[in-house]
Chains A and B, each alone.
Chain A
Amino acid sequence: MIEVKNLHKSFGSKLAVDGISFTVKKGEVLGFLGPNGAGKSTTMRMVTGFLPATEGSISIGGSDVEGDEIAAKSKIGYLPESAPLYSDMTVEAFLKFSAEMRGVPKGEIKEAVDKAIATTFLEKVRHQSIETLSKGFRHRTCFAQSIIHDPEVLILDEPTDGLDPNQKHEVRQLIKRMGKTKAIIFSTHILEEVEASCTRAVIIDRGKIIADGTPDQLKNKSKNAGSAILRVDGVEKQVLIKEIEKLSEVKSTDSVPALYEEGIALRVFPDKGKKDKLAAALAKLVTEKGGELRELRMEEGRLDELFREITKSDNEE
C-alpha cells in the first residue's frame, strides 16, 4: 500500500532524511519512533506529498506521489503534527469543507461528517467555533478531518499529543481498530503507544532507520532482554556471585542500580539458548546456599531501553 524507496531529503546542506526505505501493507500499523529532529515528520511530509523528496520514490497504492500526485493524495488521510485548523470555522463547517475537498460525493457528505464526529467524540462541540476549542478538541477535530473520506492510507504525526490519558487510550484503540482495514503510519514519542497499537515499528535517528521489527522483536533486541533480576538475603554477596557464575546456564552477572534497600540484588544474563532454564537454576542455587529468595523476575526487554541504547550511542559519536 505504501512503498518508500531510498528516500532522501536535504534542506540546504543539512541532510534531514538519509536513505529511508520501508513498506506498509494493508492491515499494518507502522510506528515511527525517534528522538526530536530525527526526520520522522519530514518523512511523513514527503509521503503525503507536502514536501518534495530530494531523491527516492514514494508510491501510495500504486500511484507515485510525484508523478501521479492527485491520485496518490486522494488515497491519504493526514494529521499534521501541529493539528492545524481554520480557526474561523465551526467544527461541522470545517469537516464539511474537508469532505468536499477530499472528493466525498455530495449526497454522502452529511453522513461522512456525522460518522467522523461520532468516531472522534466531537458531538458536544459540533457547532462551536474552532477558535474557542481546547487543545484536545482541536486535535480531535484535525483527526476527524483525516478520516472523513475513509482513506486507505492514514498518516498520523503524533496523534495522541495533547490528549488526556483517557483520550490517549481511545485514540490508540481507534488506530488499532482502523489498522485492520487500512495501512497506517503514525509517529510518537510514547513507547507504550507502539506496544499498544503497532504491528511493526521502526526507530529513526538522524534520518536513518536504525531498527525495524515488531514491538516484541525490538524489545528482544534491548540489552537486558531475557536477563533475570535476582534479590536474595542471608548470603555473602561475593560468594553468591562466584557460585552463580559457575552455573552452566549463566553467561555473566551485573550489579543492579541501587533500587533496593535490603538484600543483594543482581542482574543475571543467561548463556545462549538457556534462557528458559535460568530461573529454575538460580532458585535452586539460592536454596542450596541457605539464602532467602526475595525476588526473581525475568525481563522481557523494554522498548525505551533499546531506544536509549541505540539513539544515545549514536549521539555520542
Chain B
Amino acid sequence: MEAFAVLLKDFAIPVLIVSAVFIITLQLLPREVRTIFKRELTSYFTSPIAYVLFVVFLLVSNGLTFFYLGVLESGEASLYMPYFQYLPWYLVLIAPAVGMRLWSEEQRQGTLELLLTMPLSPWHGILGKFLAAAVVLFGMLVLSFPIVWTINYLGDPDNGVILSGFIATYFVSLCFLAVTSVISAMTRSQLVALLVSVFICLTLWLIGLPPIADFIMNITGPFEFTKPVLQFFYSLGMMPHFTELAKGVLNIRDIVFFISFIVVCLIATSVVLRVKRA
C-alpha cells in the first residue's frame, strides 16, 4: 500500500501534470492543428496498429527485462542497467512503426491533395500529425508502469532517476519519430518508410556506441580526411545524450539537443513536402 502511494506521488502526478499541460497547449494551437491531431489519433485506434504496437512493445520491453536481463537477480533497486539501457533498441523499431503511416499513407490514398488544398499551412499538418504519434508513444511508456511498480515493491529505488530515465527514453523516441516523419514524406509506401527510418534511427543510435565513437575519434591513415564528416555524424548520435539523462543527470545541453533535433526534422518534413509538389 505504501509502494502504491509512492508510485502515485512519484509517477501518476507527473503524468497528470504533463497531460494537463499538453491539453492546454493543444487548445492554444490553431484549430487546424487540433483537427488534424484528433483525426490522426482516432485513426491509430480505429485500426489495429496502435494495439498491436502496444502489445509488442510492452511484451518485449517488460518481458525481456523480467526474464532475461535480470532485474530480479541484480539485487539493485535501479532500472538503468536492466531496463532503460535497452529501451532505445526496441524503439528503433517501434517509433518508425508508429510514424511510418504519417505522410506515406496520405500519398498512397491521394488525400495529400485534399489536405494541401485546404486553407491551412503545411505546418499545421506536420505538427498535428507529429503530436498524435507522440501521444501514442507517450501512452506506450505510461503503460510500462508494471515494471516501475515491481521495482518499488521489491526495493526502494530512486524514483527521480527512474522518471528521468523515462524522460530520456521519450526524447529519444520522439527523435526517431521525427526522422520517420521526414522519411514518410518522401515515399508512398509505408514499408519503405519503415525500413529506411529503422536504418537511419539504428545508425543514429549505434554511432554513439563507445567502440564506434573511439574508432571515429582515433581514425588515422588514408581515411583521416573523412574524420570531420564522421565527427559530424557522431555529434548527431543520441546515445551520449540519452545515457546522461537516463542516469539522472539533468543537463540542459542534452534537452536542447533533443529538441533541436526534432525541430530540424520537422522543418525537413516541410521542405520534402514542398519539393515533392514542385
Of all chain A residues, which has the CB nearest B118?
Answer: A101
**B111 lies within 8 A of A85 (CB):** yes
Stretch at the interface among A72-80, A229-237, A262-270: A72-80
Asked whether any CB of chain B lies closer than 8 Å to the CB of A84, the reply is: yes
Interface magnitude class on chain B: 20 to 34
Residues of A86-125 at the interface with B, using a CB-CB cut-off of 8 Å, are 86-89, 93, 97-98, 100-103
Q: Is the CB of A52 within 8 A of B278?
A: yes
Contact A97 B39 (CB under 8 A): yes
Mask: chain A, 234-269; 1 = CB below 8 Å from B; 0 = not:
000000000000000000000000000000000000
Question: Is A50 touching B116 in the complex (CB atoms < 8 A)?
Answer: yes
- Let me know if A80 and B109 touch, CB within 8 A: no
CB contact under 8 A between A73 and B113, given known A52-B278, A101-B35 = no
Q: Which residues of A contact B31 (CB under 8 A)?
A: 100, 103
Alpha-carbon distance A272/B46, docked complex (angstroms): 69
Q: Residue of B at shortest CB range from A76? A: B117
User: Total interface residues on A, using CB and 8 Å?
Assistant: 28
Checking A74, A80, A145 against B119 with a beta-carbon cut-off of 8 angstroms, the contacting residue is A74
* B19 CB-CB contact with A under 8 Å: no
Q: In whole Å, how far is B127's beta carbon from the nearest beta carbon of chain A?
A: 14
User: Quick check: B46 and A80 within 8 Å, CB to CB?
Assistant: no
Residues from chain B with a CB closer than 8 A to the CB of A88 are 43, 46-47
Residues of B with C-beta under 8 A to A100: 31, 35
B109 touches A85 (CB 8 A): yes
> A70 at the A/B interface (Cβ < 8 Å)?
yes
B114: chain A residues at CB < 8 Å are 78, 80, 84, 98, 145
Q: Which residue of B lies closest to A155 (CB)?
A: B117
B124 to chain A, nearest CB (A): 9
CA distance A73 to B118 in the complex (A): 6
A19 within 8 A of B: no
Please list 13 pairs of residues, one from A and one from B, whose beta carbons are closer than 8 Å in the complex, sorted by A's number: A49-B116, A50-B113, A50-B117, A70-B120, A73-B117, A73-B119, A84-B113, A86-B39, A86-B109, A86-B111, A88-B46, A101-B119, A145-B114
Nearest 6 pairs of A and B residues by beta carbon: A84-B110, A74-B119, A73-B119, A48-B117, A100-B35, A84-B111
